[in-house]
Amino acid sequence: MKTLRIGLVGAGYMGSLHAEKLETMRRAGAELHLAGVCDIEPRRACELSERHGVPVHDDLRSLLSCVDAVIVAVPTVAHFDVVRSALEANVDVLVEKPIAATLEEAEALLVLAGSRGLVLQVGHLEWFNSAMQVIREHIREPRFIEAHRMGPFPDRATDMDVVRDLMIHDLDILQQLLGEEPDQIDAVGVPVLTANIDIANARISYPSGCVANLTASRVSPTPMRKIRFFQPNGYFSVDFLQQSAVAARRPGAANGERPSIEIEKLNVGRGDALTGQLQAFVRVLRTRETPQVDGLGGIGALRTALRVNAAISPPEPETPRRASARRQPDAASGRSAPFYR
């Protein structure tokens, strides 16, 4: 079996995690190796190189010339340029979410990948969470969905709003499970620590009649990543942080018996979502099958995220608090004059 040469563009927080997981996979016997790293800040690339013995490339073209596939973990505003360069060099791509900064960019990447028969996988990580893998088998025509994805402001840099940063995970999950995009969105959101929206809530209606209430925050002291599905045959809850899932079902009741609910903790084996995602990427590189989240799915999630942002009314411009006025005698007229403080 051919050893896959995988390159890494971006040696920041996520890039470093990708490098660690790839090295662990290689040591475990996977036929791959991290063939090189490139970053706009040479210092970060050199630090990663020292930790994992990875060659450093001064520019992207040099890296693309010696790899079979590349992982793109750069700021979102740079996704389009980097991914386009990789596809034009006939290199398969796994790009961190969101697929691009704009729909126009995302659609151009999808067309380019399709025209060259290349893999374009988008890093919507929660699909590879062990709890999600278990619960998805139970979801049948949900009528109401509630999701909370909250936590403190991240140590990593972020160049986007909380909808594209966090809520987009849940938007993607819902759209893949329901097989449709929303027909109505109402949303609110406010900036707190950045110039972008840092906390947002969206009420989303789908053509099937399902309604979802999603909250995303990066200004909350306690981390929470939960999603709950309510459907005629029961209630199902996923905790992504704990990698746990619970089912609540109504058992068949004999005539005259009081309705009841049975709670079952589903069997979820703990796993590593990022490793699972990388394993899936390697499998796709070898089989050429469609990724779990391909370019088309990435575009759908981005399109809905942008619609959520568009539904958020811009904050009212802050007006200076009206100054309180005290009256002081006007020396010239003897009348009271305002004194502002």
At 79-108, the pLDDT tens digits run 999 999 999 999 999 999 999 999 999 999
Residues whose CB falls within 8 Å of the CB of residue 236, separated by 6 or more in sequence, listed in order: 135, 138, 139, 228, 229, 245, 246, 247, 248
Query: Would you state the pLDDT for residue 327?
Result: 39
Instruction: Judge if 133 and 38 occupy the same domain.
Output: no
Query: Average pLDDT, stretch 104-129?
Result: 97
Q: Do the Cβ atoms of 149 and 223 come closer than 8 Å?
A: no
On the question of pLDDT at 336 being above 90, the answer is no
Region of 90 (left: φ > 0; alpha: ψ -120 to 50; beta: rest) is left
- Within 8 A by CB and 6+ apart from 179, the residues are none
Does residue 330 sit within a domain?
Answer: no
Using CA atoms, how far residue 16 sits from 45, 98, 255, in Å, is 9, 18, 60
Q: What predicted TM-score, i.e. pTM, was given to this entire model? A: 0.88
Q: What phi-psi label fits residue 133: left (phi over 0), alpha (psi between -120 and 50 degrees) or beta?
A: alpha
Angle at 69 between CA 53 and CA 161, to 5 degrees: 95
Q: For residue 24, give its domain range.
A: 4-118
CA–CA separation, 152 vs 149, rounded Å? 11
Q: Can you tell me which residue has the tokens 């502002």?
A: 340
Q: What is the pLDDT of residues 59-81, one digit of tens each?
A: 999 999 999 999 999 999 999 99
58-62, 116-120, 158-162, 166-170: the lowest-pLDDT one = 158-162
Which helix (H) or strand (E) covers residue 68, if one does?
none
Last residue of a domain, one of 118, 141, 161: 118
Residue 55, Cβ density class (10 Å: 0-12 exposed, 13-18 middle, ≥19 buried)? middle
Q: Are residues 71 and 140 in the same domain?
A: no
Calculate the alpha carbon distances from 286 to 1, 29, 55, 281, 289 in Å.
9, 16, 24, 9, 8
163 & 307 share domain:
yes
Which CATH number fits the domain that encloses residue 245? 3.30.360.10
Q: Is residue 337 part of a domain?
A: no
Domain count, the chain: 2
Please state the rounded mean pLDDT for residues 221-233.
94
Residue 213 lies in a domain: yes
User: How many angstroms separate the CA atoms of 208 and 235, rounded?
Assistant: 18
Are 87 and 188 part of one and the same domain? Answer: no
User: Contact at 8 Å (CB) between 32 and 26?
Assistant: yes
Residues 102 and 155 in one domain: no
- How many residues can be counted in the chain? 341
Q: Across the strands, what pairs with 70?
A: 7, 93
Same domain, 15 and 37: yes
DSSP code per residue over 87-137: HHTT-EEEEESSS-SSHHHHHHHHHHHHHHT--EEEE-GGGGSHHHHHHGG
Say if residue 331's pLDDT is above 60.
no
Q: Does 167 share its domain with 307? A: yes
172 and 307 inside one domain: yes
Task: Give the pLDDT band of residue 224 (cuts 50, 70, 90).
Answer: very high
For residue 95, give the nearest of 156, 22, 161, 18 by alpha carbon.
18
Mean of pLDDT over the chain:
90
* 68 and 10 part of one domain: yes
Do both 135 and 262 map to the same domain? yes
329, part of any domain: no
Residue 93: strand pairing partners = 70, 120
Range list of H helices, the chain: 13-27, 42-52, 60-64, 79-88, 103-116, 130-135, 162, 168-178, 273-287, 295-311
SS3 61: helix
Q: The CATH number of the domain where 78 resides is what?
A: 3.40.50.720
* Torsional sign, CA 151, 196, 176, 115: negative
Tell me the C-alpha to C-alpha distance, in Å, between residue 226 and each of 171, 213, 267, 276, 292. Answer: 13, 12, 17, 20, 21
Confidence band (pLDDT; 50, 70, 90) for 323? very low
Residue 136 and residue 86 in one domain: no
74 and 99, same structural domain?
A: yes
pLDDT, residue 341, reads 25
